[in-house]
Chains A and B, each alone.
Chain A
Amino acid sequence: MHSATLDEVFQEPGCAKNQAKNATERKKGCTKALKPGAAAGGCAFDGAKIALQPVTDVVHLVHGPIACEGNSWDNRHAASSGPMLYRTGFTTDMGELDVIYGAEKRLFRAIAEAIAKYDPPAVFVYQTCIPALIGDDLEAVCKAATAKHGRPVIPIDAPGFAGSKNLGNKLAGEALLRYVIGTEEPEITTPYDLNLIGEYNLSGELWQVKPLFEAAGIRIAACISGDARYRDIASCHRSRANMLVCSKAMVNIARKMQERYGMPYFEGSFYGIGDMSDTLRQSAQLLVSQGAPDDLLERTAAVIQKEEQRAWARLEPYREHLAGKRVLLITGGVKSWSVVAALQEMGMVVIGTSVKKSTEEDKARILEIMGEQAHMFEELSPREMDRMLRDAQADIMLSGGRSQFVALKAKVPWLDINQERHHAYAGYDGMVNLVAQIHHTLSNPIWQQVREPAPWESSAKPAAEG
């Protein structure tokens, strides 16, 4: 693990959390020491893999024992419009002898096997804890393999014990900056070329927003890394601007591309109607400021008007069902306030939201939207969550899979809004999907049945209630 890279990532000036710190605080870095016995969340390797796995046409080879890939492969719903190679799990599956003698040779041969069999345009090799600990030189092996096979073999140096998932996102970004971005030239360029950074096309979300950009006349030249081809990313430095989708994940890519290629970037969100419109508007403005013809602004405004109108019309029927329902929203970062706004538009009352991953700016925004009564939880323990739900403080909880069963066991409706979900919530259609799903869940007749005690359990509940 290169400590220089780590320092750089920790002191990322583009990071909103860092901006709020003074120089000495920044120097300390952002590895929050994890508490043994009370830690949750993925490791740096996990984060790197999440960020890059959606690149569809390369071999993603994990150098480590079986745990790292065997326990985790093919477990997200990043979708592809073409190559399916990214869903194939590759690992060196290190054994005891590899641990004792080192596994560089094994890795070198594994790369050769994968290339011989699958002929990918590139191989991404992920470092994990054990080879990092025993000193396997990932970079040297990748360099030798690149020379031998005449195609890029790229080291992703983010072993799990380096830190959190978020750090892994950033280290993956560093690897792209160092080895991929700017190494090829695009076939065509237009003044309307925009890159998306930090959009993974989970459940096909990219495909819900891409047509919106296209309708306005904006070309998504590359997406890092949803539904991406290696070549798109290698040549994405010729686009005119970057949009940073999930601000926490790969801000380093956007900022360094600005430094290197003079490409401006903005942070935006696809969640919520207002946010989606802002994003389209900002994209157009940024492209125009980079020399795209002015009429882009008008076209964009027209798309926004049409789509917003259409979305509101589709949402209207749900309002009477959802108005007044109380929501507990447990999610990270930027999604909090974007979703809050959308739910409020439906007349729902957000009784609390988590702000664990949110920046100060996010929090200010939540306060602005939700007002003084906003409950912001830094850390809501499952026990506390359970108590809130059983006290019927919320009609529905929206969260990630981790807390799914806290809600369901308390017999409270729940909806997945994190990465494992099966429905796409991005864009105008996505918000309609989300609201429709909330309605389906809330209006499901099972809630009444499962909450009733069995007939022989003569609890205090009067029969009249049913």
Chain B
Amino acid sequence: MAHVVNARKQCTVNPLKMSQPLGGALAFLGIENSMPLFHGSQGCTAFGMVLLVRHFRESIPLQTTAMNEATTILGGYENLEEAILTIHKKNTPALIGICSTGLTETKGDDGAGYMKLIRQRHPELADTALVYASTPDYKGCFQDGYAAACSAIIETMVPQGPGARRERLLNLLPGCHLTPGDVEAIKETAALFGCEMTALPDLSGSLDGHVADHFTPTSLGGTTQEAIAQLGAAQHTIAIGEHMRGPAELLQQRCGVPCTVLPRLTGLLPCDAFVALLAELSGKEVPQSLRRERSRLVDAMLDGHFFFGGQRIAIAAEPDLLIALGHFMAEMGATLHAAVTTSDAPGLAGLPMDQVLVGDLADFEQHAAGADLLVTHAHGRQAAQRLGVPLFRVGIPIFDRLGAAHAVHVGYRGTMTLLFALANMLLESHDTNAHRHGHPAPVQDTDNHARENLATC
């Protein structure tokens, strides 16, 4: 059991955290033909856009209400209205996803009221979904903003009341720690059981780095409006990550769709739970191909555990990504040497270590000293260099490596891929150290044969 402790300081150094609106934007980018819009100063949008562009290596549609000092003080209604009308005229998106920012929240702009007024005044927007999420920068973190946007989509676009229940139609609410590749892998697994799965949002259709036939100024794919309207008719909702509990339960309240929140989908046991759930919901046997995948993962664990045993891993990530990776590392026999996250959240206390720190990458660097492997986003590169410890990049942003959107770390196969990648990294750093010293790496833990094996392989 871990105590969640706040790093008590006034100056955040080397931020780990990103803000809520950016998480909200990511959720909106998973809706087909959508345009996220930050209600704030133009810089909020510019920074967010650059970050997402560098991570996904894709055009990122993201607009701004371009608030200035005067309009902020007078209230942002006119800017919001003008922005929506301009976007509607220029880009005709199916959805405009508005995220408030610290600026407009501090002023106290009444987002919900503004939306009503805009609807009243502009019947020409009837075919455009307008979704408003309250995502102040000074509260919460990236995953909170993402969840807030998902809840706002459900609240605004899913009709209330139980729909005509459709068997084998499932909803997937993937947390923001899942990549487009992850979402696709989950949907494919569901398909093996004859289940049709609607993901909200569905980044696998929009930010999966495909080449479209035509230029489009809005998102390149994602959950369709029709599919969103049908969320209430699903047999069941599966949410991945504790932060998706809110949207999942909202859907249950509104439409009576029962839900299961799986805290993670990385590791043998969580995958088993997921597959068992699919078997139960579909009433079908677990197909041969999946059994084979499971068997391969088991084999990978047998081959790989040598390299994890006794290794000290330091992780800095948003809560649900930390939970997924932390448990997996521990299950492979590694020790969680340090864990830093962005905000206190349900589930963190369950990590098998003494303390989880809510802090920044300077805290991480301090606590990670002595670790064998660092796991965090690309901003950890400076700490890794200074500590001389290899860095495994996870989460957002990863701007200095290719393929972030396609990394799959969920499901049997994804877990296996992750396991191999981590093991290879541990293996390599041991090899390098062994050669650098001219003799086998020192073995501190004498009964740990894995290390001795490492030094000689």
- Among B45-53, B126-134, B230-238, B265-273, the one that faces the other chain is B45-53
Residue of B nearest to A384 (CB): B215
Q: Is B22's CB under 8 angstroms from A161's CB?
A: no
> Whole-angstrom distance between the alpha carbons of A96 and B211 in the complex?
42
Q: Is B66's CB under 8 angstroms from A34's CB?
A: yes
B13 at the interface (CB under 8 A from A): yes
> Whole-angstrom distance between the alpha carbons of A114 and B72 in the complex?
31
> Whole-angstrom distance between the alpha carbons of A164 and B64 in the complex?
13
Chain A residue total in the interface (Cβ 8 A): 75
Q: Is A68's CB under 8 angstroms from B69's CB?
A: no
Report chain A residues within 8 Å CB of B59: 382, 405-406, 409
A383 at the interface (CB under 8 A from B): yes
A312 at the interface (CB under 8 A from B): no
- Give the shortest distance, in Å, between B62 (CB) and chain A (any CB): 10
- Among B82-90, B149-157, B160-168, B173-181, the one that faces the other chain is B82-90
- Give the shortest distance, in Å, between B336 (CB) and chain A (any CB): 24
> Whole-angstrom distance between the alpha carbons of A237 and B85 in the complex?
51
Q: Is B15's CB under 8 angstroms from A39's CB?
A: no
**Chain B, interface size: which category?**
35 or more
Q: Is B41's CB under 8 angstroms from A90's CB?
A: no
Report chain B residues within 8 Å CB of A420: 54
A106 at the interface (CB under 8 A from B): yes
Report chain A residues within 8 Å CB of B82: 35-37
Report chain A residues within 8 Å CB of B18: 66-67, 70-71
Q: Is B43's CB under 8 angstroms from A66's CB?
A: no
With A37-B86, A130-B106 in contact, is A88–B47 under 8 Å at CB? no
B139 at the interface (CB under 8 A from A): yes
With A34-B66, A37-B63, A409-B211 in contact, is A66–B137 under 8 Å at CB? yes
B102 at the interface (CB under 8 A from A): yes
> Whole-angstrom distance between the alpha carbons of A46 and B64 in the complex?
15
- Give the shortest distance, in Å, between B26 (CB) and chain A (any CB): 12
B62-101 residues with Cβ-Cβ distance < 8 A to A are 63-69, 72-73, 79-80, 82-87, 90, 101
Q: Is A94's CB under 8 angstroms from B10's CB?
A: no
- Give the shortest distance, in Å, between B386 (CB) and chain A (any CB): 9
When the two chains form the complex, which single residue of B103, B141, B212, B382 contacts A161, counting CB atoms closer than 8 Å? B103
Q: Is B85's CB under 8 angstroms from A382's CB?
A: no
The 0/1 profile, CB within 8 Å of B marked 1, for residues 227-240 of chain A is: 00000000000000
When the two chains form the complex, which single residue of A111, A130, A382 contacts B138, counting CB atoms closer than 8 Å? A130
Q: Is A133's CB under 8 angstroms from B106's CB?
A: yes
> Whole-angstrom distance between the alpha carbons of A53 and B37 in the complex?
28
Residue of A nearest to B40 (CB): A129
> Whole-angstrom distance between the alpha carbons of A129 and B73 in the complex?
11
> Whole-angstrom distance between the alpha carbons of A175 and B425 in the complex?
47
> Whole-angstrom distance between the alpha carbons of A61 and B11 in the complex?
8
Report chain B residues within 8 Å CB of A94: 102, 138
- Give the shortest distance, in Å, between B42 (CB) and chain A (any CB): 5
A309 at the interface (CB under 8 A from B): no
B21 at the interface (CB under 8 A from A): yes
A141 at the interface (CB under 8 A from B): no
Report chain A residues within 8 Å CB of B43: 42-46, 68, 160
B399 at the interface (CB under 8 A from A): yes
Q: Is B12's CB under 8 angstroms from A75's CB?
A: no
Of the listed residues A68, A106, A162, the one surrounded by the most CB atoms of chain B closer than 10 A to its CB is: A68
Residue of B nearest to A131 (CB): B106
> Whole-angstrom distance between the alpha carbons of A70 and B14 in the complex?
8
Q: Is B66's CB under 8 angstroms from A35's CB?
A: yes
Report chain B residues within 8 Å CB of A68: 43, 47, 137
With A75-B54, A93-B15, A162-B68 in contact, is A37–B137 under 8 Å at CB? no
Report chain A residues within 8 Å CB of B64: 34, 36-37, 39
When the two chains form the complex, which single residue of A75, A129, A382, A402 contacts B72, counting CB atoms closer than 8 Å? A129
Report chain B residues within 8 Å CB of A36: 64-66, 79-80, 82-83, 86
Report chain A residues within 8 Å CB of B84: 37
Report chain B residues within 8 Å CB of A93: 12, 15, 17, 360
With A37-B90, A110-B10 in contact, is A401–B15 under 8 Å at CB? no
The 0/1 profile, CB within 8 Å of B marked 1, for residues 91-118 of chain A is: 1111110110000001101110110010
- Give the shortest distance, in Å, between B118 (CB) and chain A (any CB): 12
- Give the shortest distance, in Å, between A156 (CB) and chain B (any CB): 14
Q: Is B21's CB under 8 angstroms from A67's CB?
A: yes
Q: Is B12's CB under 8 angstroms from A73's CB?
A: no
The 0/1 profile, CB within 8 Å of A marked 1, for residues 99-111 of chain B is: 0011100110000
Q: Is A92's CB under 8 angstroms from B11's CB?
A: yes
Q: Is A43's CB under 8 angstroms from B42's CB?
A: yes
A68-88 residues with Cβ-Cβ distance < 8 A to B are 68-75, 84, 87-88
Q: Is A89's CB under 8 angstroms from B72's CB?
A: no
Q: Is A90's CB under 8 angstroms from B46's CB?
A: no
A360-399 residues with Cβ-Cβ distance < 8 A to B are 382-383, 386-387
- Give the shortest distance, in Å, between A453 (CB) and chain B (any CB): 11
A383-432 residues with Cβ-Cβ distance < 8 A to B are 383, 386-387, 401-402, 404-406, 409-411, 420
> Whole-angstrom distance between the alpha carbons of A410 and B216 in the complex?
12
Report chain A residues within 8 Å CB of B103: 129-130, 133, 160-161
> Whole-angstrom distance between the alpha carbons of A459 and B352 in the complex?
58
Q: Is A67's CB under 8 angstroms from B42's CB?
A: no
A41 at the interface (CB under 8 A from B): yes
A226 at the interface (CB under 8 A from B): no
Report chain A residues within 8 Å CB of B122: none
Q: Is B138's CB under 8 angstroms from A39's CB?
A: no
Q: Is B41's CB under 8 angstroms from A73's CB?
A: no
With A90-B11, A409-B212 in contact, is A70–B41 under 8 Å at CB? no
- Give the shortest distance, in Å, between A71 (CB) and chain B (any CB): 4
Q: Is B11's CB under 8 angstroms from A113's CB?
A: yes
- Give the shortest distance, in Å, between B209 (CB) and chain A (any CB): 10
> Whole-angstrom distance between the alpha carbons of A228 and B54 in the complex?
27
Q: Is B51's CB under 8 angstroms from A71's CB?
A: yes
A134 at the interface (CB under 8 A from B): yes
Q: Is A383's CB under 8 angstroms from B137's CB?
A: no
- Give the shortest distance, in Å, between A157 (CB) and chain B (any CB): 12
B401 at the interface (CB under 8 A from A): no
B185 at the interface (CB under 8 A from A): no
> Whole-angstrom distance between the alpha carbons of A36 and B141 in the complex?
26
- Give the shortest distance, in Å, between B13 (CB) and chain A (any CB): 6
B379 at the interface (CB under 8 A from A): yes
Report chain A residues within 8 Å CB of B141: 66
A272 at the interface (CB under 8 A from B): no
Report chain B residues within 8 Å CB of A95: 138-139
With A1-B69, A34-B66, A109-B10 in contact, is A70–B17 under 8 Å at CB? yes
A464 at the interface (CB under 8 A from B): no
- Give the shortest distance, in Å, between B60 (CB) and chain A (any CB): 9
Q: Is A160's CB under 8 angstroms from B15's CB?
A: no
A23 at the interface (CB under 8 A from B): no
Report chain A residues within 8 Å CB of B41: 43, 129, 160-161
Q: Is B15's CB under 8 angstroms from A96's CB?
A: no
A460 at the interface (CB under 8 A from B): no
The 0/1 profile, CB within 8 Å of A marked 1, for residues 347-371 of chain B is: 0000000000000101000000000
When the two chains form the complex, which single residue of A37, A75, A92, A110 contacts B83, counting CB atoms closer than 8 Å? A37
Q: List 27 A-B contacts (CB under 8 A).
A: A37-B82, A37-B85, A38-B63, A38-B86, A39-B63, A43-B42, A65-B137, A66-B12, A66-B138, A67-B137, A68-B43, A69-B12, A70-B15, A71-B51, A89-B15, A90-B11, A91-B11, A98-B138, A99-B106, A110-B11, A113-B10, A117-B13, A129-B40, A133-B69, A133-B103, A161-B68, A404-B53
10 closest Cβ pairs, A-B complex? A43-B43, A37-B86, A37-B83, A110-B11, A36-B83, A386-B215, A67-B19, A160-B43, A34-B66, A70-B15
| Chain B residues in the interface with A (C-beta under 8 A) | 9-19, 21-22, 37, 40-48, 50-51, 53-54, 57-59, 63-69, 72-73, 79-80, 82-87, 90, 101-103, 106-107, 136-139, 141, 211-212, 215, 217, 360, 362, 379, 382, 399
Known: A35-B82, A37-B64, A37-B65. 4 other contacts (CB 8 A): A43-B44, A66-B18, A99-B106, A382-B215
